[in-house]
Structure 1
Amino acid sequence: MAGLFGSAAASQNNTIGDLKQDVELGSPPEDSISDLAFNPNPTDPKDFLAVASWDKKVRVYEILSNGQGQGKVQLEHDAPVLSVDFFKDGSKVLSAGADKMAKVLDLNTGQGVQVAQHDAPIRCVRYFEANGTPMAVTGSWDKTVKYWDFRSAAPAGTLQCQERVYTMDVRENLLVVGTADRYINVVNLKEPTKFYKTMQSPLKWQTKVVSCFTDSQGFAIGSIEGRCAIQYVEDKDSTLNFSFKCHRDTPQGNTTSVYAVNDISFHPQHGTFSTAGSDGTFHFWDKDAKHRLKGYPNVGGSITSTTFNKTGSIFAYAISYDWSKGYQGNGSTYPNKVLLHPVLPDECKPRPNPKKR
């Protein structure tokens, strides 16, 4: 790497990111933050950020031009909220959680309605469209994935999984579901009620997050062992699959402290991605060049969730306790914050790939 990007020392200094311009949102949640989502509508000049929390609320903030956030609307659940996502047009927010239900919050009216039900907590909810029809897909600890047409109270379809659903992501027609026991299920949403492919994670420990590439050709997997895997859907691309270590401290003798990768977010324009972990750091990576673009200093607590806004100019990250050290690691002084990092042009741009020259 040093030969490609200058001296090792210069390269190292160049890859250390700066947090000085990051802005903290006012009026944050009162308990751990479980999920973040920005409105994706490219025609909407405003940025809205939805925040799901263990305090049983979904909060939606309008991000102002000065970088500050202003509370717009909120929705209450009957138990911790574990997942949140926007409708494609940005007008409504989906949320789901430990009360075993999913709700839709209309940002214009401030009204919320229940749209889904499971037999156990819903860990993940995502919006998608089937032939132009707005739909939701939910993944639950009851070991099922269910599809919901908002015009009906009954699920439009159900997939029985091997184990409890821990993580899930959608991009165009690609649905990826990560469950307990390291199962990864890939679904083509054109045939939503069957698995296109099932595999065990290439990582040896529990899956924390799956995140689809921006071009929907594959997905990234993060685990509790401080590793990330890049996985393509089609077998013809399998030579491009690889995994790498991240979110680990420098070895001390024979001991290396290893931290969970809690979230992975892809930049909407460049296709580069972030990892964030229990160690309180986040990093930007280029999967095609297999290169770290930037690493950032410790933010003062575990990072539980991340997301880019629609243009990739803002990177939001949540700091709160992630239970990685059990109940002993929690305390009343542990921070609950959402910060907005303004993304500079060089932070997430891919490096020239020498193999393509």
Structure 2
Amino acid sequence: MNLPPPAPKDFEVQFNALSAVEFLAMTLFIIASKSLSPTADLLAASSFDNQTRIWEVQANGSTVPKAAIQHDGPALCCTWSKDGTKLFSGGADKAGKMMDITTGQTTQVAAHDAPISCARFADGIGGAGTMVITGSWDKTIKYWDLRTPTPAFSVNMPDRVYSMDVSYPLMVVATAERHIMIYNLNNPSQVFKQLVSPLKWQTRVVSCFPNASGFAIGSIEGRVGIQMAEDKDASLNFSFKCHRDDKNNVHSVNAISFHPTYGTFSTAGGDGTFSFWDKDSKQRLKQFASVGNSISATAFNRNGTIFAYASSYDWGKGHEHYKQGSPNQIFLYALKDEDVKPKPAKQPLRK
């Protein structure tokens, strides 16, 4: 089945691959995670077919496959180092593997007692160099100094880790049972604040503000919460409804990504739509039509000119609604300034 795009085709590129995506440096689900490079237009995607793949995005929007990291189980997450020379991939095989982009060599650098669900690079933790932070269903996060084969330290979580994000020095970890753990990475082994999600149902994703002052959280109830890290800013906290159709069916919020320049953000969900939002003026900037399948992961590239999103079934309606042979696709959308630039408030978000 060919899915209808939410924008003209000349603004998009389709990838026929089972993958999650990170633009040198994004994260998905069946497409489990994705990331865009912070220094080049490289796209990485983790997939349930046991691989994290890398493509190079050309100036004309075409793509060239470059490399892949192989796991012994579904690949669940991927993330790039700040300098774009290394890609980390975590999987259901409990292994964390890192590829050196300059040499093409892949080595295992992390391990857990259960699947690795999320990971982020961070620099300067405790005076150290670059570290990889991994979160797992084994109810721990671990900090890996890439110069040694054992974790620098491990921190117990209240439950299985579902999502994690870093905007130095802020790190936010979301676990099962709606626990939210907030860390100042200048003191990484001590929790800065622990709270229960402001949303009533299971957490799907957390994403830190680019300026590290707070984070957004999305859940299966079609709602997003905006939370400030410091108690003194609590008056700025709010939540709003999204990803609900004309029949008032509620869909999960699967992905939240912040624009690197404007600080506005995207949400994407089980209804197959994505939207751009301005948290400061509390309004939606633009909404796109459904692609016909769930959107499982999103990412902006390094300068905010490309938006990548992955379309694949997110299992939100159970196995009985899965369509055998349904395509798993990644699209690139060429952003216009008016899509994501903040605007004066006109209509408040629905609380």
TM-score, length of structure 2 as denominator length: 0.91
Per the TM alignment, residue 29 of structure 1 is displaced from its structure 2 partner at its CA by 2.5
Q: What does residue range 67-146 of structure 1 map to in structure 2 within 5 Å?
A: 67-130=61-124, 131=127, 133-146=129-142
Aligned residue in 2 for 1:3: none
Aligned residue in 1 for 2:31: 33
Higher relative contact order (CA 8 A, sep 6+): 2
- SS of match in other structure, 1:51: strand
Aligned residue in 1 for 2:27: none
Aligned residue in 1 for 2:24: none
Provide, for residues 127-185 of structure 1, a one-character-per-residue CA deviation record: whole Å limited to 9, x for no partner: 11123601000000000011000111111111111100000001111110000000000
Given the alignment of the two structures, is residue 53 of structure 1 paired with residue 51 of structure 2, yes or no? no
Which has the larger Rg? 1
Aligned residue in 1 for 2:170: 174
Aligned residue in 1 for 2:280: 288
Q: Following the alignment from structure 1 to structure 2, what is the Cα–Cα distance between the partners of residues 91 and 263?
A: 25
2:13 maps to which of 24, 46, 58: 24
Contact kept in structure 2, 1:39 and 1:47, CA below 8 Å: yes
Provide, for residues 232-257 of structure 1, a one-character-per-residue CA deviation record: whole Å limited to 9, x for no partner: 00011100000000000124xxxx21
Q: Tell me whether 19-28 or 88-97 shows the greater mean CA deviation.
A: 19-28
Aligned residue in 2 for 1:11: none
Q: What does residue range 293-308 of structure 1 map to in structure 2 within 5 Å?
A: 293-308=285-300
Per the TM alignment, residue 112 of structure 1 is displaced from its structure 2 partner at its CA by 0.7
Given the alignment of the two structures, is residue 163 of structure 1 paired with residue 155 of structure 2, yes or no? no
Q: Following the alignment from structure 1 to structure 2, what is the Cα–Cα distance between the partners of residues 353 and 304?
A: 29
Per the TM alignment, residue 27 of structure 1 is displaced from its structure 2 partner at its CA by 4.6
- SS of match in other structure, 1:196: strand
Provide, for residues 302-339 of structure 1, a one-character-per-residue CA deviation record: whole Å limited to 9, x for no partner: 00000000000000000011111111122223121000
Q: Following the alignment from structure 1 to structure 2, what is the Cα–Cα distance between the partners of residues 243 and 65?
A: 38
Contact kept in structure 2, 1:182 and 1:207, CA below 8 Å: yes
Contact kept in structure 2, 1:120 and 1:140, CA below 8 Å: yes
Q: Following the alignment from structure 1 to structure 2, what is the Cα–Cα distance between the partners of residues 103 and 325?
A: 32
Provide, for residues 85-122 of structure 1, a one-character-per-residue CA deviation record: whole Å limited to 9, x for no partner: 00111011011010101110112222110011100001
Q: Following the alignment from structure 2 to structure 1, what is the Cα–Cα distance between the partners of residues 297 and 314?
A: 10
2:180 maps to which of 173, 184, 198: 184
Contact kept in structure 1, 2:46 and 2:77, CA below 8 Å: yes
Q: What does residue range 238-249 of structure 1 map to in structure 2 within 5 Å?
A: 238-249=234-245
Letter in 1 for 2:87: V
Contact kept in structure 2, 1:178 and 1:209, CA below 8 Å: yes
1:273 maps to which of 258, 265, 275: 265
Question: How many percent of aligned residue pairs carry the same amino acid?
Answer: 50
Q: Following the alignment from structure 1 to structure 2, what is the Cα–Cα distance between the partners of residues 22 and 225?
A: 31
Letter in 2 for 1:186: I
Contact kept in structure 1, 2:13 and 2:333, CA below 8 Å: no
Contact kept in structure 2, 1:101 and 1:118, CA below 8 Å: yes
Given the alignment of the two structures, is residue 347 of structure 1 paired with residue 343 of structure 2, yes or no? no
TM-score, length of structure 1 as denominator length: 0.90
Q: What does residue range 213-228 of structure 1 map to in structure 2 within 5 Å?
A: 213-228=209-224
- SS of match in other structure, 1:181: helix
- SS of match in other structure, 2:224: strand
Structure 1 vs Structure 2 CA RMSD = 1.4
Letter in 1 for 2:131: M
Per the TM alignment, residue 23 of structure 1 is displaced from its structure 2 partner at its CA by 2.1
**Structure 1 residue ranges without an equivalent (≥5):** 1-16
Contact kept in structure 2, 1:217 and 1:233, CA below 8 Å: yes
After the TM superposition, list the runs of 4 or more consecutive aligned residues in structure 1 that deviate by more than 4 angstroms. Answer: none
- SS of match in other structure, 2:340: coil
Q: May I ask how many residue pairs the two structures share in their alignment? A: 330
Given the alignment of the two structures, is residue 212 of structure 1 paired with residue 201 of structure 2, yes or no? no
Provide, for residues 263-305 of structure 1, a one-character-per-residue CA deviation record: whole Å limited to 9, x for no partner: 0000000000000000000000000000000000001210000
Q: Following the alignment from structure 1 to structure 2, what is the Cα–Cα distance between the partners of residues 169 and 305?
A: 14
Q: Tell me whether 327-336 or 167-176 shows the greater mean CA deviation.
A: 327-336
Contact kept in structure 1, 2:283 and 2:345, CA below 8 Å: no
Provide, for residues 21-40 of structure 1, a one-character-per-residue CA deviation record: whole Å limited to 9, x for no partner: 34233452379211110111
Letter in 2 for 1:183: H
- SS of match in other structure, 1:21: helix
- SS of match in other structure, 2:320: helix
**Structure 2 residue ranges without an equivalent (≥5):** 1-5, 21-29, 347-351
Contact kept in structure 1, 2:19 and 2:53, CA below 8 Å: no
